[in-house]
Copies of this chain bind each other. A is one copy, B any other.
Amino acid sequence: MSGNTFGKLFSVTTFGESHGPAIGCVIDGCPPGMTLSEADIQPELDRRKPGTSRHVTQRQEADRVEILSGVYQGVTTGTPIALLIRNEDQRSKDYGNIAESFRPGHADYTYWHKYGVRDSRGGGRSSARLTAPVVGAGAVARKWLREKYGTELMGYMSALGDIAVPFEGWEHVHANPFFAATGDAALLQRMEEAMDQLRRDGDSIGARIDVVARGVPVGLGQPIYDKLDADIAYAMMGINAVKGVEIGAGFASVAQRGSEHGDELTLEGFVGNHAGGVLGGISTGQDITVSLAIKPTSSIRVPRRSIDKAGNPATVETFGRHDPCVGIRATPIAEAMLALVLIDHALMNRAQCGDVQVATPKLK
């Protein structure tokens, strides 16, 4: 319960630090009888991994996943599935200069004060590298959701800094290095240039990510506390650098009237989806729509004022291999987290209401 386990019935416990020997996770609660191999997981890790374009960190990691348990003759057995990813490209010396002082905007300061000890190599446990096991676990969850309910998870970048990126179609998302759902060449060019300028400046920028779950059964979620949207907010805010989460209309709801916001129902289904697929904490069967605000990376070359562990003033410049926009690689992570929330609630729902009821199709 020290926070490193996600989910109650499909529980993912992660371990590892950026520059330790390995990272990984243990998935407890995956239903038995599903075919599973590394080939189901590796593609998701590849979408997230570093070094895929000049706009992300140049650290070279194959992120090769090994399944250590829980699968026998290619089928899940119902016992824990351990995933192991060895760290390969650890240039710990890059981080010598930040071991003694605290990067502004970074976890350095809080880890030091909480634990009195800190693995400063590459950010240690606070590194975004720790999202890799989550993406691996998410791949397992996605496979089960797809096979059981036909659920699909999809995401895209909707803003890069102050550049809004309109949604034009899912087919574009993997045709550019930003997970942008646009085929507008001029806009993509503008994004490339903005990123190139940032690298020259040694600075970083925020981003906005949108995630959608399609084909979600009706009835996932609990009335109080463990609402589906509450658990989604927890999952998303738990991703490194996230500072805001919206469901459906989100902050736009503030200025809406009830007669505008509440999605009417007809025999064909809901008219609109301001709810983002969740009413009273429980899924409606519509698309679940979530938006995230991702802050700019804290590790930048621009010199900044700080203090050191001894309490003296210090100037911090970070020279390691960092993403100038951590939001770029956030899309597959957010999809994975959403998958983890959904499978956990799907399993809870069949505990409560039985398998048959969950599987029964409801009104559109």
Contacts and interface: CB of A to CB of B under 8 A. Distances in A.
Interface string A280-320: 11111100000001111111101011110001010000000
Interface residues of A, number: 155
Contacts of A115: 32-33, 77-78, 353
A68 B25 CA distance: 11
A231 interface: yes
Interface in A229-252: 229-238, 243-252
A226 to B, nearest CB: 3
A351 B362 contact: no
Interface stretch (A41-49, A53-61, A122-130, A177-185): A122-130
A256 interface: yes
A198 B130 CA distance: 49
Nearest to A348: B351
Nearest to A220: B114
Interface in A194-249: 198, 203-208, 218-219, 221-227, 229-238, 243-249
B306 A265 contact: yes
A9 interface: yes
A219 to B, nearest CB: 4
B352 A265 contact: no
Nearest to A207: B254
B282 A225 contact: no
B77 A117 contact: yes
Contacts of A26: 4, 13-15, 26
Top 4 nearest A-B pairs by Cβ distance?
A: A107-B280, A105-B262, A3-B222, A3-B226
